[in-house]
């Protein structure tokens, strides 16, 4: 018998299984505490952990105790002021031994249970009800990933993969098959011997002696059959088969023209940072392509996308043309699910906005699973918004929202990427 002892080191006063059960048990209270924490922190701090507090009354465990039954009265020794039956007035001021006065409801009090959520745990609650909309598999493509799959039994293998029941069943079948004829003949010989002896036949009779010798021989033959043989052993057979997977790519389009002042660019950057954090958290295998544009569009790295400075006019169609080109050259619809998020202030040449609408309607939307557009402006919607409204009417997988300030980033983000109750169809 082998005894296994888990000596993996865990943090002080921490137990991973107990902590997991605790988080699952009080999921509702923790989600509410995370929602309160989100209001008080900036988007750029979203990937950090958080100190969470929940009321102690929500974590108290029910307990049973032994109480003194019946009706009883008592007088404590050393009492000189009160006699049995006296009524004692309630003391002035609050009872109990609580400390201090009522404080701010946002602060942790003695009645709160406080603990620290790790970065991973915080993001799990933060992104729990979000998902890329319309994430369906356009085609099951062969990848380098494999999964282990059972494939019956084999006559060779390691001891850990031995299938005991199957082996014993095979051994029993072999013993029956090999010794079946001898067993039948043994039963017949024993019955014949009993019949002869019952008729008074002498033990020295030739037939009786012959039957006894045959019975002894048959029993030895049956005992010689091994209980289990190496031929009977069967092992679980597992093979690796290609694991179908869906490939997804997310395009981030950012307007960096002169009309996009630093405040608008900062809002756009925060939106894409949140989006990028969400993608890397939710999906292990998803590619992200960054496209910046003013009068011309360019595919850039993540660092250049967030930090490079540009100025000039705005021709949004340059970014859409580059987007179409990249999709057709590198991300075929038969193999990829394509998602696009675009941030702009909506300012664009009038004639170019019409071109953008045509590009979306006839070239881009048939190639993508979902397209999200956010317009960053405090005033009335710009001409690009009005043209995009017509695109939304024709394509249900096109979504658009307006952002006026930093406070709108997260609500808009949740609206654009909330989980769909039903699959969207084009």
Q: Are residues 212 and 301 in the same domain?
A: no
* Nearest Cα to Cα of residue 273 among 249, 295, 252: 252
In a domain, 2, yes or no: no
Taking 3-state DSSP, the helix, strand and coil percentages for the chain, each rounded to the nearest 5, stand at 40, 20, 40
> How far apart, in whole angstroms, are the C-alpha atoms of residue 333 and residue 138?
8
SS3 378: coil
* pLDDT per residue rounded down to tens, the chain (426 residues): 555 555 555 555 456 667 777 777 777 777 777 767 665 554 445 556 667 777 665 556 667 777 677 777 766 666 677 777 777 777 665 544 444 444 444 444 445 667 777 777 776 776 665 555 554 434 333 345 566 778 888 888 888 888 888 888 888 888 888 888 888 888 888 888 888 888 877 777 888 888 888 888 888 888 888 888 888 888 988 887 765 455 678 898 988 887 777 778 778 877 777 777 776 665 566 788 999 988 889 998 877 876 666 666 788 999 999 999 999 999 887 778 788 889 988 888 878 999 999 999 999 999 998 898 999 888 788 888 989 999 999 998 898 989 888 778 878 887 777 765 544 433
Candidates 357, 349, 359, 370; CA nearest to 321 is 359
Looking at the fold, whether 227 and 311 belong to one and the same domain comes out as no
Angle between helices 316-330 and 350-359 (to 10 degrees): 20
**371 and 260 share one domain:** yes
CA angle 103/108/111 to nearest 5° reads: 85
288 and 388: one domain?
Answer: yes
Using an 8 Å Cβ cutoff, are 360 and 328 in contact?
A: no
In this structure, the answer to whether residues 18 and 118 fall within a common structural domain is yes
CA 214 from chain centre, in angstroms, equals 70
Instruction: Give the CA distances from residue 289 to residues 249, 292, 299, 340, 388, in Å, rounded to whole numbers and listed in that order.
Output: 7, 10, 7, 9, 22
Among 209, 237, 265, the domain boundary falls at: 237
Could you say which of 215, 237, 259 is where a domain stops?
237
Give the CA dihedral 307, 310, 315, 318, nearest 10 degrees. Answer: -60
| Residues 271 and 217 both lie in one domain | no
DSSP run (H or E) holding 389? helix 383-394
Asked if residue 423 is part of any domain, the answer here is no
Residues 39 and 185 in one domain: no
- 402 and 271, same structural domain? yes
Residues 346, 278, single domain; the answer is yes
Domain range enclosing 218: 159-237
| Angstrom distance (rounded) from CA 286 to CA 74 | 75
User: What is d(CA 253, CA 376) in angstroms, rounded to the nearest whole number?
Assistant: 13
Of 219, 237, 255, the residue at which a domain comes to its end is 237
3-class DSSP state of 164:
helix
In a domain, 42, yes or no: yes
* Cα angle 125-248-355, degrees, rounded to a multiple of 5: 110
In terms of domains, do 317 and 406 share one? yes
224 by Cβ neighbours in 10 Å (0-12 / 13-18 / 19+) ranks as: exposed
| Structural domains in the chain (count) | 3
Q: Which residues of 249-261 are buried (b: 16+ CB within 10 A; e: fewer)?
A: bbbbbbbbbebbe
* Same domain as 336, residue 229: no
Task: Find residue 340's DSSP bridge partners.
Answer: 251, 371
Determine, yes or no, domain membership for 316: yes
CA–CA dist 176, 182 (Å, integer): 10
Buried b (16+ CB within 10 A) or exposed e, 90-102: eeeeeeeeeeeee
């Amino acid at each position: 018998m082998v005894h296994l002892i888990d000596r993996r080191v865990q943090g002080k006063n921490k137990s991973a299984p107990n902590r997991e059960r605790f988080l699952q048990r009080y999921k509702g209270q923790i989600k509410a505490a995370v929602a309160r924490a989100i209001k008080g922190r900036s988007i750029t701090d979203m990937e950090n952990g958080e100190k969470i507090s929940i009321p102690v009354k929500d974590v108290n465990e029910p307990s049973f105790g032994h109480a003194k039954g019946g009706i009883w009265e008592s007088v404590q020794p050393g009492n000189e002021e009160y006699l049995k039956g006296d009524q004692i007035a309630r003391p002035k001021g609050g009872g109990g031994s609580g400390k201090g006065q009522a404080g701010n409801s946002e602060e942790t009090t003695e009645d709160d249970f406080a603990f620290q959520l790790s970065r991973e745990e915080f993001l799990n609650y933060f992104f729990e009800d979000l998902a890329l909309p319309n994430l369906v598999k356009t085609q099951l493509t062969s990848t380098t990933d494999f999964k282990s799959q059972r494939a019956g039994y084999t006559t060779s293998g390691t001891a850990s993969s031995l299938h005991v029941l199957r082996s014993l069943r095979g051994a029993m079948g072999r013993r029956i098959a090999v010794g079946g004829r001898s067993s039948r003949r043994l039963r017949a010989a024993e019955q014949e011997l009993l019949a002869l002896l019952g008729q008074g036949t002498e033990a020295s009779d030739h037939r009786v002696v012959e039957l006894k010798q045959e019975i002894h021989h048959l029993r030895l033959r049956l005992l010689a059959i091994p209980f289990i043989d190496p031929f009977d052993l069967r092992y679980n057979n597992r093979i690796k088969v290609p694991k179908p997977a869906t490939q997804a790519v997310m395009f981030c389009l950012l307007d960096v023209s002169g009309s996009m002042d630093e405040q608008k660019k900062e809002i756009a950057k925060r939106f894409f940072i949140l989006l990028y954090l969400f993608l890397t958290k939710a999906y292990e295998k998803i590619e992200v392509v960054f496209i910046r544009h003013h009068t011309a569009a360019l595919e850039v790295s993540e660092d250049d996308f967030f930090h490079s400075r540009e100025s000039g006019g705005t021709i949004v169609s340059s970014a859409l043309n580059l987007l179409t080109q990249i999709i057709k050259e590198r991300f075929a619809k038969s193999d990829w699910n394509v998602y696009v998020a675009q941030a702009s202030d909506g300012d664009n040449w009038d004639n170019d906005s019409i071109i953008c609408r045509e590009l979306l309607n006839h070239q881009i939307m048939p190639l993508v699973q979902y397209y999200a557009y956010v317009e960053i402006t405090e005033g009335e919607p710009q001409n690009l918004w009005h043209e995009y409204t017509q695109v939304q009417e024709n394509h249900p997988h096109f979504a658009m929202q307006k952002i006026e300030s930093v406070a709108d980033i997260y609500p808009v983000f949740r609206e654009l990427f909330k989980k769909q109750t039903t699959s969207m169809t084009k």
